[in-house]
Amino acid sequence: MSTLQDYYPTDCPFCKIATAYPSSETSPIPSSPDPEKLDPQCHMILSTPHVLAFLDILPIAPGHILLTTRKHYRTLGDLHNDDEAKQDAQALGEWLPLLSRALCKVTGIEDWNIVQNNGERAAQVVPHIHFHFIPRYQEGRRDVGGKMGRLDPGMAKSWRMFGRGTREELDDEEGLEMALRLREALGREVGMGGKAKL
């Protein structure tokens, strides 16, 4: 029998986010989530009974998104064959393309990585299953709004692999704007026939 502690370990930052931002019965995309519910701020994009998406607080590039399960699983191997784990896995799969399309529309990128690490030696920093959506900006391209934020311009031009290069703290004002635009784009994706699980 699972306990609340099994669902949301108190030392897990993603479980703290899941607790602070419960899902809504009306929409999987929060209309105006308060980023200051947590410290550091959380810029929420998606909140369903099964999955959450928010901006990475140490982005590799502007628009770096994390998609995670609401329930605590350490790695993909922990998604067992019970009904709840199957629903969580299905929700991850359904939201991956919707978030990808929203990210491309907001940032104007054509290329991006989706990375999922399992375990410490595989560069998993937070021991809670999550996928990284990392925009790869084309050489010479300016990001949306004509500013690169706090990103090292050399990183925007590189083909460096995930986990290498400079990661700077997310600027909260830029995060607020980016999350709003991503929620709007994701809402359009869902409205265009996206049948992702709420």
The answer to whether the beta carbons of residues 71 and 88 sit under 8 Å apart is yes
Q: How far apart (Å, rounded) are the C-alpha atoms in residues 44 and 81? A: 29
Name 47's bridge partners: 52
Pick the catalytic residue: 50, 128, 130, 132?
Answer: 130
The answer to whether the beta carbons of residues 144 and 106 sit under 8 Å apart is yes
Q: How far apart (Å, rounded) are the C-alpha atoms in residues 129 and 127? A: 7
Q: What burial class does residue 94 get, using C-beta atoms within 10 Å of its C-beta: 0-12 exposed, 13-18 middle, 19+ buried?
A: middle
Q: Is the dihedral of CA 22, 29, 98, 41 positive or negative?
A: negative
- Placement of tokens 């500013």 in the chain: 147
Longest Cα separation, the chain: 55
130 in catalytic set: yes
Helix axes 172-191, 83-107, angle to 10 degrees: 110
Q: How far apart (Å, rounded) are the C-alpha atoms in residues 91 and 49? A: 9
Give the catalytic positions in this structure. Answer: 130
